Amino acid sequence: MKTIIAACSQNLSGSRASIQTALRTLLAARWPSQRDVRSWLQLLSVLQWVLSFLLLGTVSLLILIYLVFTSFWPISALYLAWIIFDWDTPEKGGRRLPCLRRWPVWRHFRDYFPVKLVKTHDLSPSHNYIIGSHPHGILCVGAFCNFITGSTGFGEMFPGIRPFLTTLAGNFRLPVFREYLMSGGLCPVTRRAIGYLLSKNGTGNAVAIVIGGAAESLSCRPGVTTLVLKKRKGFVRMALQHGAYLVPSFSFGENDLFRQVVFEEGSWMRSIQQRFQKMMGFAPCIFYGRGLTSVHSWGFLPYARPITTVVGEPVMVPKIEDPSSETVDMYHEMYIRSLLKLFNENKTKYGLSETDELHIL
In the prediction, which pLDDT does 3 show?
45
Residue 344, domain member (yes or no): yes
pLDDT band of residue 27 (cuts 50, 70, 90) is: low
Peptide bond into 222 cis (omega under 30): no
Residue 281 to residue 132: CA distance in whole angstroms: 19
The pLDDT tens digits of the residues spanning 119-160 come to 999 999 999 999 999 999 989 999 999 999 999 999 999 999
Residue 134, domain member (yes or no): yes
Residue 336 to residue 343: CA distance in whole angstroms: 10
Residue 114, domain member (yes or no): yes
Residues 29/22, Cβ–Cβ less than 8 Å: no
Residue 30, domain member (yes or no): no
Residue 12, domain member (yes or no): no
Residue 24, domain member (yes or no): no
What pTM was estimated for this model as a whole? 0.87
Residues 197/165, Cβ–Cβ less than 8 Å: no
Residues 246/209, Cβ–Cβ less than 8 Å: no
Residue 266, domain member (yes or no): yes
Number of independent structural domains in the chain: 1
Q: Identify the domain containing residue 50 by its residue range.
A: 35-360
Residues 193/171, Cβ–Cβ less than 8 Å: no
Residue 27 to residue 30: CA distance in whole angstroms: 8
In the prediction, which pLDDT does 294 show?
83
pLDDT band of residue 282 (cuts 50, 70, 90) is: low
Residue 299, domain member (yes or no): yes
